[in-house]
Chain A
Amino acid sequence: MDITENIQNSATVLGLTGRLDGLTSGTLERKVDALLAGGAKRIVFDCGQLLYVSSAGLRVFLSSAKKLKAAGGSAAFAALTPAVREVFELSGFTTMLEIHPDAAAATAAKA
């Protein structure tokens, strides 16, 4: 999985490409932890190119959202692909997490 990073409207947008699973979730987790340590308060996970998310991936998404909330910030998820949306809906993540149609909407929204 590749991760791109850019800043939009004071939010850090992480663009995820490929598969988020047990082999790649650690990389994302370390990235989020580094951003948190650097004071990031709003992280948007742009899932527009994310083809697959496993249980390990869901755990990293959840723990990231929780860590951000604990730090007084927030996480948002944008542009869910059909495969990712299906897993989010199955797991109830669509009711527990902030979801937006695209990164622009996510960065424009105030948490």
Chain B
Amino acid sequence: MSSANLTFVEEIVLLALDDETGALLPMPPLAFRYALAGAAICDLALLNRIDTDPNQLVVLSKEPTGDPLLDHALSAILSVQTPLRVSGWLNMLSEISKTLEAAALDRLVARGILRREEKKILWVFGTRRYPTVDNQERAEVRTRLADLILGDDLPDPRDAILISLLSASHLSDKIFAGKEFKARSERMATLAKMDLVGREVAGIIDVVTRTLNASLPIGM
């Protein structure tokens, strides 16, 4: 199955998991929530349910997409009557990010890409991991994005969105960590700018990180 069949929410969840352990890769605080919120907005945009510009998000169609995960996000958007900037919508959708994550994980497990593993830590605390069953999806998207970063081709709009969201959540630092990628940081920054929603996600995560750092005692 091509990764093009996955929603952005599913792709972000898949790429956010460690290949071996199935645990979430380290990210700045709340980054994953906002990345998922941004992914949901981008999925709805590509399905022509909404559109965005630097100042607003506009509903184009209230028609359900047929995808329960995305229809949940669309319903959340439709339930708010007040016009919001994209950042406002990201804040709103970040509140349902756990639901989006859970639905995406269920679907990735159902597709045989991940498996669900319950682990006990210290025999008291349970934790759930999602090790990879079939790495083809993840490998395919990583290769495609790596080729894009290391090359000079124009991105497909879908790949521009994905790179923008991965960069915003700092997942790209983990996924594309080699020296060859560090040498292409300017290219990465250019690609990351190309999607407006991804830029807004980056902005929010930056604010959250700075706010948290400012509240820490000196020396920490």
Interface residues of A (CB under 8 A from B): 21-23, 26, 52-56, 58-59, 62-63, 65-66, 69, 86-87, 90-93, 95-97
Contact = CB atoms under 8 A, between A and B. Distances in A.
B30 interface: no
B109 interface: no
A97 B193 CA distance: 14
Interface stretch (B9-17, B125-133, B153-161, B169-177): B153-161
A62 to B, nearest CB: 5
Contact of A91 (B48, B60, B154, B193): B193
A69 B54 contact: no
A55 B190 contact: no
B65 interface: no
A87 B197 CA distance: 13
A22 B51 contact: yes
Interface string B28-50: 00000000000000000110101
A59 B193 contact: no
B84 interface: no
B52 interface: yes
Interface of B: 45-46, 48, 50-54, 58, 60, 153-157, 160, 190-191, 193-197, 199
Q: Is the interface of A mostly helix, strand, loop or mixed?
A: helix
Nearest to A61: B157
A33 to B, nearest CB: 15
Contacts of B194: 58, 62, 91-93, 96
A56 B49 CA distance: 11
Nearest to B157: A59
B196 A55 contact: yes
Given A55-B51, A90-B196, A66 B58 contact: no
Contact of A23 (B60, B191, B193): B60
17 contacts: A22-B51, A22-B58, A52-B53, A53-B53, A54-B53, A55-B45, A56-B45, A56-B51, A66-B155, A69-B153, A87-B54, A91-B195, A92-B190, A93-B194, A95-B190, A96-B154, A96-B190
A26 B51 CA distance: 13
Contacts of B195: 55, 91
Contacts of A59: 46, 157
Closest 8 CB pairs of A and B: A22-B51, A92-B193, A59-B157, A66-B154, A55-B52, A22-B60, A54-B53, A54-B51
Nearest to A60: B157
Nearest to B152: A96
B194 to A, nearest CB: 5
